[in-house]
Each structure stands twice: as structure tokens, then as C-alpha cells.
Structure 1
Amino acid sequence: MLRRDWNLRRLRVAQGLLQERLALAAGIDRAYVGRVGRGSENVAISTLEAMARALSVPVAHLLVELDGEAERPASSKAGRKPAH
């Protein structure tokens, strides 16, 4: 199975971003980010561009197809980060 929908989660978690932070930076709804990450939402190119900008990656990084042997990306740690 090709897992293109895992790219968003993989990139977001690698940068330590929660769905809420990514959504805020991209100007989209947090629940929508979750649905995209689960592959249950069709995404407009403009939304992909906004998420890619927020992640500081080319849009192509969100479209790469991972092979069936790719591991499911880790989840972010739950809860808010402490204020600095």
C-alpha cells in the first residue's frame, strides 16, 4: 500500500509541531489537518502549498509516495508544550 497521507504527519512530527500549530501557521482548521493526515480528506493544491510553507518544505515532499514497507509515523507527544 502506498502511504502518501503519512507524509504530512511524518514531516510535522519531525519538526515537533502539533496539528494545532501547523494549522495556525498554515491558516487552516486543526481538525482538517487531522483528516488530511489520516488520508480522509481530498486536499486542494493551495492548501498543500500553505501546509508546505508552514513546514518549510517543497510541496513535492507532501506528495511523495512511501512504499508499503514504510513504518507508520510516530505521533506527537500529547499536551501543550511548556511556556518559555
Structure 2
Amino acid sequence: MPGTQTMRPGEPDTGPAPSGEYLAIERDHLQPLPEERFETGVELASRVDRYGQITVRTNRYSVPARLMGRNVRVMLHTSADRL
């Protein structure tokens, strides 16, 4: 299994290294975040039906009634959807 260690007979069990040790090792190699934000979601198009709803993949969402009949863009993320 990835990430597991195989113990050999007579070898002491020291456990995984604390996360602080990893940070100390990696700190010199870290780079600053880019100034421009980048999108991690998927952009989809949907049309608002006469009930004020859109379908995104297999899910239905209600949207403001003023958008009925219009096409909208949907950003699909793993944690939340945004119109």
C-alpha cells in the first residue's frame, strides 16, 4: 500500500516524522504564490427553465426568477457551485 512502511525484524518503530520536520526541510524550496488567481473549477453553461431552475449534471438548482429563459454560466467546484 502506498505510504506505508515495511518493518524489518529488530528495527525500532519510530513512527512517521512530525509535520514540523517536513516543513523545516521544505521551507527553503517553497515559492511565493502567483499574483494572479487561477480557477480550479469547471465552467458549464445551462439555460434557466420556466420554473426558474437550471440543471447542472444531474442536479437541479433554483435561481432568481428574473433569469428565466436566459443562459447562465456555472462554475462547478467540489465544495460549492456558483452562478
Normalised TM-score (structure 1) = 0.19
More helix by share: 1
Give the structure with higher Rg (CA): 2
